[in-house]
Amino acid sequence: MPTVRRLPAEWEPQQFVQLTFPHAGTDWAPMLEAALACFAEIAAVISRFEPVLIVCQDKASLQPLLTGADFSRIRYAEGIPSNDTWARDHGGITIIENGELVILDFVFNGWGLKFPANHDNLITCRLARQGVFGSARIRHGSMVLEGGGIESDGQGTLMVTSECLLSPNRNPHLSRRQTENMLKRLFGLQQILWLDYGYLAGDDTDSHIDTLARFCSSDTIAYVQCNNPDDEHYPALQAMERQLAAFRTLQGQPYRLTPLPLPSPCFAEDGHRLPATYANFLIINGAVLVPTYNVPEDEQALSRLANCFPDRDIIGVPCRTLIEQHGSLHCVTMQYPLA
């Protein structure tokens, strides 16, 4: 019997969402109180719709922060060391293989050896030892790969960026063709859409796809648009927009493209621009959580995503704190689907 694999789309039914909480040993230390409050709010909102797994040092210090959470849907995995908090990238990536869940535990090397990741790289296997994943099988992913670097439509198409997946500090032994063949085998894919343009100032990930362009359905892509010629992103994002318009579905049709505004520039205290993006939304059971930054474009982004997801609640979540460490809402979460 041939093996049939599939990488579910994010909008498919989910078991739970993982959050790896900040602590004093992470880069959040200078703003730990604000970071914990932000993570707690994200956990509380998700718990209205589905269970939340909180990876943490100890739950006693966190429970008072989770005001408004449905505690019946909060589960803790305590005592697991972590370097940082980006569950999207150190979390397991779940496929459905012959109708059963398999969690692929890829190598996480700190976005191409930029940051320490010795603890984060072991989180998924340590969660498995605690029984968090139930009967799902755990398998090594056999390459360096982050969840933020891939975007699945659930029907055999994967969207990625060449800047990230072909980074020489991730899988230098693999050519583009070899990378594509491996991804097709691991995820049961029929095609891979490679974005060769697009970036965000302040981004540490080498242009993760989840900061730039996202599937909203099998024929709809929401993406970051820049129409201001004076903005530094203009040339790259205009080129990305043209490439997205040239993409085709497996049926040979162009995608319906929904532009998301580029937020007004947000800056860190030292003056560098932060990677604010509305493409970093999270789809959960019954809702879409959209990062907001207290800028004028927030409402327009919420409205446009509401058009993409008419059957789900659209909820803005303040994420200005998250971009101080160069990520946002999708980056700190990882969903685990149902079989």
All residues at 6 or more sequence positions from 18 whose CB lies less than 8 Å from its CB, including other chains: 52, 53, 55, 87, 91, 333, 334, 335, 336
Q: Which residues pair with 52 in a beta bridge?
A: 17, 74
Q: 50-98, pLDDT tens digit by residue?
A: 999 999 998 999 999 999 999 999 999 999 999 999 999 999 999 999 9
How many whole angstroms separate alpha carbon 90 and alpha carbon 33?
A: 23
The CATH number of whichever domain residue 72 belongs to comes to 3.75.10.10
Domain that holds residue 128: 5-337
Residue 50 and residue 14 in contact, taking contact as beta carbons nearer than 8 Å? yes
Q: 190-218, pLDDT tens digit by residue?
A: 999 999 999 999 999 999 999 999 999 99
Number of domains in the chain: 1
The answer to whether residue 324 scores a pLDDT higher than 90 is: yes
Specify burial of residue 257 (Cβ count, 10 A radius: 0-12, 13-18, 19+).
middle
Give the per-residue pLDDT at 1: 72
Residue 165 and residue 195 in contact, taking contact as beta carbons nearer than 8 Å? no
- Pairing type for strands 157-161 and 151-152 reads antiparallel
Give the per-residue pLDDT at 2: 83
User: pTM (2 decimals)?
Assistant: 0.97
> Among candidates 178, 185, 176, which has minimal Cα distance to 156?
185
Q: How confident is the model at residue 233 (pLDDT cuts 50, 70, 90)?
A: very high
How many whole angstroms separate alpha carbon 144 and alpha carbon 226?
A: 31
Give the per-residue pLDDT at 158: 98
Q: 22-34, pLDDT tens digit by residue?
A: 999 999 999 999 9
Residue 281 and residue 224 in contact, taking contact as beta carbons nearer than 8 Å? no
Average pLDDT rounded to a whole number, residues 149-173: 98
